[in-house]
């Protein structure tokens, strides 16, 4: 059996094995969720920071 035949058989086995594809899909979904979560929390943190600074300024100016 030649190396090309071995590689071809290995590729057929990998292509037929669906668990690897499912794990890769879950990894991509997890990465996408992480990116969305990080960007959302960054935006929320910035908005919250502005609100807190506005409250602190109002308190400081009230005295």
Print burial letters for 7-27: b (CB count within 10 Å at least 16), e (below 16). eeeeeeeeeeeeeeeeeeeee
Query: How is residue 24 annotated by DSSP?
Result: H
pLDDT of residue 7: 77
| pLDDT on residue 22 | 76
Q: Is 29 in contact with 22 (CB distance < 8 Å)?
A: no
pTM: 0.51
pLDDT of residue 4 exceeding 80, the answer is: no
Length of the chain: 63
Please report the pLDDT score of residue 33 as a whole number: 92
**Is the pLDDT higher at 24 or at 42?**
42
pLDDT tens column, 29-47: 999 999 999 988 998 998 9
Q: Angle at Cα 1 formed by Cα 3 and Cα 16, nearest 5°?
A: 70
The number of domains in the chain is 1
The domain in which residue 51 lies consists of 3-62
């Amino acid at each position: 059996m030649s190396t090309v035949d071995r590689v071809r058989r290995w590729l057929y086995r990998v292509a037929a094995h669906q668990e690897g594809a499912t794990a890769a899909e879950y990894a991509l979904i997890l990465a996408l969720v992480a990116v969305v979560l990080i960007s959302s929390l960054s935006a929320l943190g910035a908005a919250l920071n502005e609100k807190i600074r506005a409250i602190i300024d109002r308190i400081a100016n009230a005295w």
